Amino acid sequence: SGIGRNWPWASGGSSILAEFGTLHLEFVHLSHLSGNPVFAEKVMNIRKVLNRLDKPEGLYPNYLNPSSGQWGQHHVSIGGLGDSFYEYLLKAWLMSDKTDEEGKNMYYDAVQAIETHLIRKSSGGLTYIAEWKGGLLEHKMGHLTCFAGGMFALGADGAPPDKTGHHIELGAEIARTCHESYDRTSLKLGPEAFRFDGGVEAIATRQNEKYYILRPEVIETYMYMWRLTHDPKYRQWGWEAVEVM
């Protein structure tokens, strides 16, 4: 029909940050392969809108209304609904042979905001990425969020020189936290979401979060960390997961 629609549950029919972030990378690559610039032009229009919009505390909410061009609910997650937007800003810069300065700047600005407002350390010393809901933190980390360990480490090379080691260390800390979410279960498989409140750390506390559906994010972070550091523990952690599956 030529009429666009989104899911009604998505903040009044909004578009989802992770989805148009994914399309951004794919359409740019499609222009590269086809020689037709129209695909990249379409998604770069979205980028212009994002750069123009005010972002709460520098963070990107998970919903953007395609009609008004305004944010939907002020819910920020580096896991479900938000994840690949950040990942593909970084990868767009890498795939451009590091010429896409706008993508690079948006990524590192976003990481700075994530560090300031979402990344916290538990009393037991585990680094985690909370969710942000209208200015309040929910101390929950989804399995999907565990991709970020590999992302931080992959992005270390382009960070300011005094931040390179910090980004690698941040990736390592997230990898450790996600490994703990596996190791602290009876089956040694990580839950869909785990929490850092009520006296628990890296443990699922709600019945609807205690399931495992072969999500790849934790293993993906192990892979990146192994490739970038060659620390053998990451291969060992990956093998532990394979053995119990």
Q: What is the pLDDT, as a whole number, of residue 12? A: 85
Please determine, for residue 4, whether its predicted confidence score (pLDDT) is greater than 90.
Answer: no
Q: Is 220 a catalytic residue?
A: no
Q: In degrees, to the nearest 5, what angle opens at C-alpha 88 toward C-alphas 68 and 210?
A: 90
User: What residue type is assigned to position 96 of the chain?
Assistant: S
Catalytic residue among 180, 192, 201, 217: 192
CA 151 from centroid of its chain's CA atoms: 8
Alpha-carbon span 44 to 38, nearest angstrom: 10
**DSSP conformation letters of 104-166:** HHHHHHHHHHHHHHTEEE-TTS-EEE-EEETTEEE-EEEGGGGGHHHHHHHGGGGS-GGGHHH
pTM: 0.94
Please determine, for residue 204, whether its predicted confidence score (pLDDT) is greater than 90.
Answer: yes
Alpha-carbon span 153 to 168, nearest angstrom: 4
Is the separation of the CB atoms in 141 and 177 below 8 Å?
Answer: yes
Q: 70-116, pLDDT tens digit by residue?
A: 999 899 999 999 999 999 999 999 999 999 999 999 999 999 999 99
Q: 33-58, pLDDT tens digit by residue?
A: 999 999 999 999 999 999 899 999 99
Mean pLDDT of 174-182: 98
Alpha-carbon span 152 to 7, nearest angstrom: 31
Centre a 10 Å sphere on the Cβ of residue 67 and count the other Cβ atoms it contains.
Answer: 11
Q: 56-68, pLDDT tens digit by residue?
A: 999 999 999 988 8
Confidence of residue 181 (pLDDT cuts 50, 70, 90): very high
Q: Which residues 6+ apart lie within 8 Å of 18 measured at CB?
A: 62, 80, 81, 82, 83, 84, 85
Q: What is the pLDDT, as a whole number, of residue 86? A: 96
